[in-house]
A and B are shown apart, each in its own frame.
Chain A
Amino acid sequence: MENILLRNRTIPEIGTFETYLEHGGWEAFKKAFSMSPDEVIQEVLNSNLRGRGGAGFSTGRKWSFIPKDAERKYVVVNADESEPGTFKDRELLEFNAQQVIEGAMIAAYAIQATAVYIYFRGEFWDIAHNFEQEIAKAREANLIGQNILGGDWSCEFYTHLGAGAYICGEESAMLNSLQGLLGQPRVKPPFPVMKGGGLYYEPTVVNNVETLANVPWIIVNGADAYRAIGTPESPGPKIFCLSGHIAKAGNYEIPLGTTFRELLYDLAGGPQHEGKGFKALLPSGASGPVIPLTEDMMDTPMTYESLVELGSVLGSASFIVMEEGTDMVWAAYKMAQFFKHESCGKCTPCREGTYWLNQLMTRIISGQGTMRDLEILENAATQMQGKSLCALGEFATSPILGTLKHYRAEFEAYVNGEKQKELPASKTVAVAH
Chain B
Amino acid sequence: MPVIELSLSGRPKSARVVGIDLGTTNSLVAYMSDSGPEVIRDESGNALVPSIVYFDYEQDRLLVGEEARDRLITEPRKAIYSVKRFMGRGSADVQEDLSLVPFEIAPDSEQVIGFKMGDRVFTSPEISAFILRDLRRRASQFFGEEVTQAVITVPAYFNDAQRQATKDAGHLAGLDVLRIVNEPTAASLAYGVDKKEEAIVAVYDLGGGTFDVSILKLKDGIFEVLATNGDTHLGGDDIDNQLISLILNELESGFGKSFSKDPSVFQAIRKLSVQAKHQLSNSDQASLEIEIGDAGERYTRTITRDEFQKLIHDLVERTLAPCKQALKDAGLSPGQIDEVIMVGGSTRIPLVRRKVEELFKREPHVELNPDEVVALGAAIQADVLSGGRRDLLLLDVTPLSLGIETMGGVVAKIINRNSTIPASAAEIFTTWVDNQTGIDVHVLQGERELVEDCRSLAKFTLKGIPPQPAGLPRIEVKFLIDANGILTVSASDLRTRAQQSIEVKPSYGLSDEQIEKMLLDSFEFAEEDIRKRQLIEARNEAETLIRAAEKALSGDAHAFIDADERTTIQRAVDDLRSAMGGDDHHLIRDRMKTLDDSSRHLAEQMMDSALLGALKDRKASEVAEG
A, B from the same assembly: no
Partner-A contacts on B (CB < 8 A): none
Partner-B contacts on A (CB < 8 A): none
